[in-house]
Amino acid sequence: MDSQTKPVQTFIINTSWIFSASVLASVAGIIVKILLARYLGPTGLGHFTLALYFPELAVLFLRLGLPMSNIYFVGSGQISEQQAFSNSISIALLISLGGMLIYLTILPWIKHPFLKDMPISFALIGAFSLPLTMLIIFTESILQGKERLRDISLVKLLQAISWLSLVLLVVVGLSQGTYGALVSFLLRDSLTLTGILLLLLRSLKFWPTLDLVLLKKQLTYGLKGHLGSIVLFFNFRFDILFITFFLTPREVGIYSLAVVMSESLWKFADAVQAVIFPRTAATQGSANFTLRVQTVVTAVTVTGSLLLIMLGKPVIGWLFSKAFEEAYVVAVCLCPGIIALTFAKIFNADLVGRGYPWVIFQAAACGLPFTLLLNPLLIPLLGIQGAAITSSISYIANGIFSVLFFSRICKISYVDLLATINPWQWWKLATTRHFIP
């Protein structure tokens, strides 16, 4: 095996592990979504989504880019796993518990405009997802930095299987409705965190410390990309806030189902992204390799989009019930943006690994004006379809910037970039060994 072929085969194996786990997790996730849709209905599913929305938003702001720093510094060998692990546990606990306290304090003020008729108890239960999610993200980033992708795959499978089992037991078997769904979510995350810790503690010591010198180094790198992650999240999820404000929890439930369906098309891109970042950080490999990877990702995502467009409507009615049929048009409206954003996912992962963490912010900032300006205009006019159109436009703007920036930094011609959307190139990569540089 020559020196060029081995890294590529390692990349393919790692991607296969992540993608296979993602596919199996997606199947379990779809079954869970079917069960939640049928047993909770549009309004109950909307309440479930809203109960977890603000804790998820808090996690986004509070993680400070530190998981990204862990991947970069551990992957490049600049800090040890033990240093990253000890600091991560301490910081995650301190920040998340403080954030949870602040959230519970302001909850009475945000309930009326955004949570409306949702029982306050749902929001209180959802608040406990904040520290669990924070700890999962921080600790999993250490596994990713060391390219322990088989372990990450096992974690994803554990999370999916436990989620499905708990929903079957609590929501279906015990008929606990939205309350049971939220409790199941917390138990799922508790089991997931336990699994990650068991994997890490095979080689590391559980000794939380706060190394301020190391923290400064992590923040210096992480904050450059953190602002971009915040803006990117707004592009992804700010539409929920507008829908909540202008419409009802029923529309939130239908829209959340459409988002899950359309974003399932990202599973392959996300698997590749998880491998590209630490690989580039460790090797500073050829940008041409990333370009060929993007060609495969584009082919897979376009094919998935066509299948969704052709089969989505009957599948939604059959699996989720006719109450959710509106989700089909919403999912179709999201497809162009879903395809465009794969370019941002792959190219930005490559660029961050080369030491350009701020590219995430710059790319996301291109889409944010569309999110902020078009949502309040289109949602009152077109409902949740307006939110989907806005998101798609925002994703396309994000993708275009990422393509242009990647081209400039890596000296890739526009002709080569256009090849990524050429079906003939897709066929060549599928039927020959042209994937190997």
* b/e map 363-384, b = 16+ CB within 10 Å: bbbbbbebbeebbeebbeeebb
**Closest by alpha carbon to 170, among 118, 46, 260, 178?**
178
* Alpha carbons 410 and 402: distance in angstroms, whole number: 12
pLDDT tens, per residue, the chain with 437 residues? 455 555 556 666 666 766 777 778 878 888 998 999 999 999 999 999 999 999 998 898 888 888 988 888 887 888 888 998 998 899 999 999 999 999 999 988 888 778 878 899 999 999 999 999 999 999 999 988 887 878 888 898 899 999 999 999 999 999 999 999 999 999 999 999 999 999 999 888 888 788 888 888 888 888 877 877 788 777 777 898 899 889 988 999 999 999 989 988 998 888 888 777 766 766 656 677 888 889 889 999 999 999 999 999 999 989 888 889 999 999 999 999 999 999 999 998 888 878 777 787 888 889 999 999 999 999 999 999 999 999 999 999 999 999 999 888 888 888 888 878 888 777 776 666 554 44
Q: Give, in order, the Cα–Cα distances in Å from 10 to each of 114, 140, 144, 347.
A: 47, 20, 15, 20
Q: Do 48 and 254 contact (CB within 8 A), yes or no?
A: no
* Alpha carbons 406 and 354: distance in angstroms, whole number: 11
> Residues for the chain: how many in total?
437
Non-local (6+) Cβ contacts of 393 within 8 A are 337, 367, 370, 374
In the structure, how many helices (H) and strands (E) does the chain have?
A: 16, 0
Q: Do 163 and 109 contact (CB within 8 A), yes or no?
A: no
- 431 membership: H or E segment, kind and range: helix 423-431
Token digits of residue 402: 């990422």
Q: Give pLDDT, residue 6.
A: 56
Q: Give pLDDT, residue 237.
A: 78
* Alpha carbons 60 and 411: distance in angstroms, whole number: 33
3-state secondary structure of 345: helix
Query: What's the pTM value of the predicted model, to 2 decimals?
Result: 0.75
Q: Give pLDDT, residue 60.
A: 85
Q: Give pLDDT, residue 192.
A: 96
The DSSP-derived string for 357-404 is: TTHHHHHHHHHHHHHHHHHHHHHHHHTHHHHHHHHHHHHHHHHHHHHH
Q: Give pLDDT, residue 376.
A: 95
